[in-house]
Structure 1
Amino acid sequence: MKRPFLFTLLILLASNCSAERINSESGNPPSHEIFDELLRSNVSGDQVDYRGFINSKEKFEKYLDLISENPPDRGKWSKKEQLTYWINAYNAFTIKLIIDNYPVESIQDLHPTIYIPLVRTVWHKKFFKIGEVEMNLDEIEHDILRKEFNEPRIHFAINCASFSCPPLRNEAFTADKIDKQLEEQAVTFVNDFGRNKISTNSADVSKIFSWFSKDFTKDGSLIQFLNKYSKVKLNEDAKIEYLDYDWSLNDKK
């Protein structure tokens, strides 16, 4: 989600930038095997079996603890290892947010109902730690993934627990496969007619392409970016419009 400039400035002043305060000497990256097993068991298509995660909560909490206690060592870990860690962390803690409040109709139902300084939305709630630093999902997305990695495909990999989001992948991301996985996510999402309707002369696309337009147009136009992945190629002068976003929970029915 986009942030007003003043709100961003206040967050940085108040938190001294949580992402920059993470100091790790954790050694090797943690294994994502537990998360991989849970995703394979509880994700099918674009639906997530949150009850399944609840039934396996003890196992899931072990993975969350592993992530929390082993933050990336920027001096030792490769960029792929760091990217893999942060994508999995975002998705795992989003699932935690949902199952801790389940049942819920939409992640947006978890927005603050009373005034809390600097907590404007559910994505600004600090409900987990990376190392010893309290963090929120917004910081992972905007201050780390978007800031530290020149990788627009991350928007097809992180999942906001909603039906209009790119579907949650039913396997964990791993450093040895991250490029292939991100490419598959991009191709699948762009060609998903339920989320992007592309024809030669026009396209109705996800609002993700509007919210994060700067990420998708660093090396050209949005049409050029879409044509890298779309099976139907857009003309250069094609008309682009944006679809309404469905924030209903991507729950298994």
Structure 2
Amino acid sequence: MFNNYLKSILTVVVISHVSLLMACTDVKQKEKLTTTANYIQENVDAFKLAENFYFAVKNGENAQTYITQLENITKDNLESQLQTNDQKKAFWINIYNTYVQYLLTKNPELYEDRSNFFTEERFTIAGKKLSLDDVEHGIIRDSSVKLSMGHLKDPFASKFEKKFRVSEKDWRVHFALNCGAKSCPPVAFYKSETINEQLEKSSKTYLTKVVNYKKEVGKVYVPKLMDWFRGDFGGKDGAIKILKNYQFIPESADPEVEFLDYNWELDLKNYI
């Protein structure tokens, strides 16, 4: 009887020690996994991540892994990689274009209320919930007030926006951003090392397709984008200067500028 009682006590002690060891092992394993996850978040290549996200969406593959990584990348890591305007423009143009394609491919009905589609916070980057407008007008357009035609800067920009926004507006981004409409420029993947050449090409390609100069009536028809964001383009005088620079109108010409209508018909997967 005593021996059986002693065996029972020893069994309980052994089981308790084994459980404790297992618990300690689980804690250490969890700590190790957490440390590894933090290391990845703090050292992930933001540009490669954006590229993987872009091509997963373009090719119709599961993009959830990249979405999660974009959500969890640390602000410090992202900031360390987005130091120049070229780096900021490339990263955020790709994020904007890819999320437009991802969201509307997943649920085209979102486009029925375009205002809500662009203004509602729909994704997270580095722990910050963002809308498409936050990215376009806040970050890419240096905190421009959306309905000010590019003439007013938002004095109430968030800390996140101030940290990641470009320091100087670039009118060429309007020929790189695709909002899902038929009149939008096609989608391309932009690299910080070559973004100036790419923006030049996308701008000239878009304008070549849209601009219509009628010498006989003294008018030049230009994209509606140049009206909506006329402050970015330098007004009508700025538009004329751009058209002359790209040789769409003669240097000596002084035509009246007319803005074309914008086709808002949904047009997805318009990739270069």
User: What TM-score do the two structures reach when normalised by structure 2?
Assistant: 0.64
For the pair 1:160 / 2:179, whether they are aligned, the reply is yes
Question: Structure 1 stretches (4+) deviating beyond 4 angstroms?
Answer: 24-28
Q: In the alignment, what sits opposite 1:34?
A: 52
On the 8 A contact 2:54/2:98 being kept in 1, the answer is no
Q: 1:74 and 1:229, CA in 2 relative to 1: closer, same or farther beyond 3 A?
A: farther
Give 1:185 shift: 0.6
User: 2:229 maps to which residue?
Assistant: 212
Write out aligned runs for 1:111-150 (5 A): 111=114, 121-147=116-142, 148=166, 149-150=168-169
Question: Quick one: distance in 2 between partners of 1:241 and 1:180?
Answer: 28
The AA in structure 1 aligned to 2:105 is I
Partner AA of 1:151 in structure 2: D
Are the equivalent residues in 2 in contact too, given 1:67–1:89 (CA < 8 A)?
no
Larger Cα-atom Rg: 2
Contact 1:153–1:182, Cα closer than 8 Å, also in 2 = yes
Structure 1 gaps, min length 5: 1-23, 43-51, 112-119
Secondary structure, counterpart of 1:245 in structure 2 = coil
Which amino acid in structure 2 is aligned with residue 136 of structure 1?
S
Q: Distance in 1 between matches of 2:83 and 2:220?
A: 37
Residue 87 of structure 2 is matched in structure 1 by: 81
Measured in 2, the distance between the counterparts of 1:131 and 1:217 equals: 34
1:61 alignment partner in structure 2:
64
Letter matched to residue 208 of structure 1: L
| Secondary structure of 1:121's aligned partner | helix
Match of 2:104 in 1: 98
Q: Percent identity?
A: 25
Q: CA RMSD in A?
A: 2.9
Q: Which has the higher helix share?
A: 2
Out of 83-92 and 243-252, give the one that drifted further.
243-252
CA displacement, residues 116-168 of structure 1 (integer Å, 9 cap, x when unaligned): xxxx5321011101111111000111111111232111111110111111122
1:37 offset after TM fit, Å?
3.7
Classify the secondary structure of the residue corresponding to 1:187: helix
Determine the C-alpha separation between the residues in 2 that align with 1:26 and 1:219. Answer: 45
- Residues 36 and 121 from structure 1, CA distance in 2 versus in 1: closer, same or farther, beyond 3 angstroms? closer
Letter aligned with residue 90 of structure 1:
Y
Instruction: Assess, with a 3 A threshold, how the Cα gap between structure 1 residues 235 and 139 changes in structure 2: closer, same or farther.
Output: farther
Q: Is the 2:213–2:219 Cα contact (8 Å) retained in structure 1?
A: yes
Alpha-carbon distance in 2 for matches of 1:252, 1:132: 28
1:73 CA drift (Å)? 3.7
Question: Deviation at 1:101?
Answer: 0.8
**Higher RCO (C-alpha under 8 Å, 6+ residues apart):** 1
